[in-house]
Structure 1
């Protein structure tokens, strides 16, 4: 998910409660796994708002915001 600074992406729960939804799981080692100007809110009901599953993964996270998470913001496995 890549967007311009002037038009950021917002991923949020249906209500502003910590852990309202599981969050994002990244499992692909694809080089286009780029996240810029993304806000993730109200997630983290399981492990984290962003769960990176795999040591070979190299996602790019730039200018991202994680807010109101029930658990870790980012969890690396």
Structure 2
């Protein structure tokens, strides 16, 4: 990224270091590599559509490999 102002540079660095922290946390919690986590979780997408006058949200089907990673991550209630 080509940032020229101090605020933009600091914001970019904040996002980068936060992403690194989240990645490390997920690797430690799941015991899997970041590449494996990303390739397993990337296909999970939620879809929101409007049918008639009603807005519906459809959750993705979660395969066993993705469920294993998600179950390894602590929830807010478990902390």
Taking structure 1 as the reference length, what is the TM-score of the superposition? 0.23
Q: Which has the higher strand share?
A: 1
Question: Rg bigger for which structure?
Answer: 2
Taking structure 2 as the reference length, what is the TM-score of the superposition? 0.22
Ranked by relative contact order (alpha carbons within 8 Å, sequence separation 6 or more), the top structure is: 1
